[in-house]
Structure 1
Amino acid sequence: MIRWLIIIFLALLLINGLHGWLERIGLGRLPGDFRFRLFGRELFLPLASTVLLSLVAALIARFVKL
């Protein structure tokens, strides 16, 4: 369980770091991607984009396994 929480946290950090590039290709503006300001900093939680990228990765892994 802890391992999955760490993986999800790292995935969110990675997507947050790639935020500018992902917005250019259309990710980051999906319904379910949250932006808010907290203590003067803008935070971005890309929940819908994470789910979409996970599905794409799962499909790629399934076809590569053939």
Structure 2
Amino acid sequence: MSNSIGKYLIIIGACIVFTGIIIYFFYDKLQWIGKLPGDIRIEKENFRFYFPITTMLLASLVVSVLIKIIQRFF
């Protein structure tokens, strides 16, 4: 294995730990995630459909920005 794979694994692990810490300590303040305008939610008696379009777009934007920031340092 090369050095770069190990470096990327460490970065991915640190991101997962950081995300876990954020969710653990700020869960009550993050209730708006998944309930944004544009998220499709259909609830009927025996049927529930949920498609978080806006939440996915926001998550994609955040991940893209983080990847660009990480690429500048490495």
TM-score, with normalisation over the residues of structure 2? 0.52
Larger Rg: 2
Structure 2 runs not aligned, ≥5 long? 1-22
Q: CA–CA distance in 2 between the matches of 1:39 and 1:58?
A: 38
Matches within 5 A, 1:11-26: 25=30, 26=32
The alignment yields a C-alpha RMSD, in angstroms, of: 2.2
Higher strand proportion? 1
Identity in percent: 24
- Residues 24-61 of structure 1: CA deviation (Å, up to 9, x unaligned): 51211111001113682211000000000000000000
Residue 59 in structure 1 maps to residue 59 in structure 2: no
The amino acid of 2:70's aligned partner reads V
Structure 1 runs not aligned, ≥5 long? 1-20
- Which one has more relative contact order, counting CA pairs under 8 Å at least 6 apart? 1
TM-score, with normalisation over the residues of structure 1? 0.58
For 1:43, the equivalent position in structure 2 comes to 49
